[in-house]
Structure 1
């Protein structure tokens, strides 16, 4: 008896070119082709994103494969299974009939199975008197055998892509960590350089990174970060070598100076006489009388709260965030790059940023921010400038403007602004005001 193999689906389901291509691939597979259905299913599961399959559709495919008794599927064997919807639902963890139909269609569109529908759409098999299957209507598993090598290659490609993606993310994490810590080291150690601009460049690169990024985008960002990393590392390494050379030279000079102790005292006395003659000794002593420790970041932010509005992240937790905000303030105030570079060279990067933040806080009272910064830079070169008085004056102005109500002696706070000042600092401010 001659049998006919259907090529079109039953009912309103339409035929697509993809289905025709899947059927052609199944017909073209060699007769000796054989595949382990569970090994192929593992490859399909790994490559499901490339195939367009979903988790639910793979659960249904797993159920379909379980209806075939053999583990090794051969091209010459019977590859059609005909389970009912009730049986499929039971083996697919109890999904709804509508979900079953939708995901069966996905398996067909992905070319993982082929529909072999009967004239009335029912699934069944017709057997001979000897018990052999003469005609079966259901789902053809031929693509599992015909495309086994293709699925394996796709799974390997996915694994390689995952490995490359993981390596790219690791590289990105290491570069970000190294750059941030090297910038912190440069700021803390007083390494010459425009660290505010470096931070702004870093933030510009990182801002291109979305929450979920492709491997290509991550690698492109890594290339930009690697260039920035090399520049920062070279600057720190050069400064470290310079410091070592200076330390060796100063050690050698101390031996020479110790051989002529009189010349040292004479030099100091002469220098002191010149300062007294010029009338600058009072100003220098006034600067020296200020605290020797650096200004805490919290006090600077209390004195210059407007800086927080400029920060790109909306908050300032470290000095590097403060320097990045200062770089933005420079452009907003119209301070030239040369004036900013000279201020950083004379005062130090952090002190110049504090001075600029103080200028920004009083922007309505200063006509030319660049000129004012240059005057402060000239004073800093002569040793007559410190950021302590500027910050203390701003704090005192905020305290005077707030008019705090009576509170315990050890603490005063500014209503609504969150400004808290210790008793000792408050006494210091009052003393300077008097």
Structure 2
């Protein structure tokens, strides 16, 4: 008899990974970490989760790279692979990863994570599903590329602005008001929230 509040689950379909190495899934997430509201601990937990994806199935079905996306490690096992993070930190990280729509929890009635076997083969599991991350990989990779290009442009423009400021200081005598303006510009260029438009305005 099924427990009254147990989550029902259908047999999970195998999913094709978008990259040969599952750890490549982490690349865009690392770039977009702040934008996704994640911490470095969250990345450690996500890395640990990915390490539990079934490797043998990927080797057997390498031509299609089909794999079950639900992993079911205990928090103790996650801690071992996540730099020894304590259970409270792991729970918070799982919450943020879920809020960022990178994982989905498939809870059993007692909150335990375990596989569901049919005919002696693991067909599904109660645990943590990485399918949201896998399905979003393409769009996350595009966003990460755009952000990387923007950051590179920002660094280039900032270097140009600082070079112009240094050149002016060496070649021209300024009164106190203009020196104060140049000092203000230096402070602007040091801001963590600096934008491309702000640097172009300075230049």
TM score, norm. by length of structure 2: 0.80
Give the match for residue 82 of structure 1: 72
Query: Quick one: which of 26, 30, 35 aligns to 1:41?
Result: 26
Shift of 1:75: 9.1
CA contact (8 A) 2:26 2:47 kept: yes
1:18-57 map, 5 Å? 33-36=16-19, 37-57=22-42
| Runs of 4+ residues deviating >6 angstroms | none
> Quick check: which one's helix share is greater?
1
Q: 1:149 to 1:135 in 2, by over 3 A?
A: closer
Q: 1:32-56, CA deviations, whole angstroms, 9 ceiling, x for partnerless residues? A: 8531222221121122122222111
Query: Quick one: which of 50, 56, 61 aligns to 1:65?
Result: 50
- SS of equivalent residue, structure 2 residue 8: coil
Structure ID, larger Rg? 1
Distance 1:58 1:75 in 2: 24
Query: Quick one: which of 156, 162, 168 aligns to 1:173?
Result: 162
Query: Quick one: which of 136, 148, 157 aligns to 2:125?
Result: 136
Shift of 1:76: 5.9
Instruction: Quote the RMSD (CA, aligned, Å).
Output: 2.6
Query: Quick one: which of 217, 220, 225 aligns to 2:201?
Result: 220
Q: 1:294-314, CA deviations, whole angstroms, 9 ceiling, x for partnerless residues? A: xxxxxxxxxxxxxxxxxxxxx
Q: 1:142 to 1:75 in 2, by over 3 A?
A: farther
Aligned residue-pair number: 183
Distance 2:76 2:41 in 1: 16
TM score, norm. by length of structure 1: 0.39
Greater relative contact order (CA < 8 Å, ≥ 6 in sequence): 2
> Quick check: which one's strand share is greater?
2
Query: Quick one: which of 160, 181, 201 aligns to 1:204?
Result: 181
Distance 2:124 2:53 in 1: 16
- SS of equivalent residue, structure 1 residue 126: strand
Matched, 1:182 2:186: no
Matched, 1:109 2:99: yes
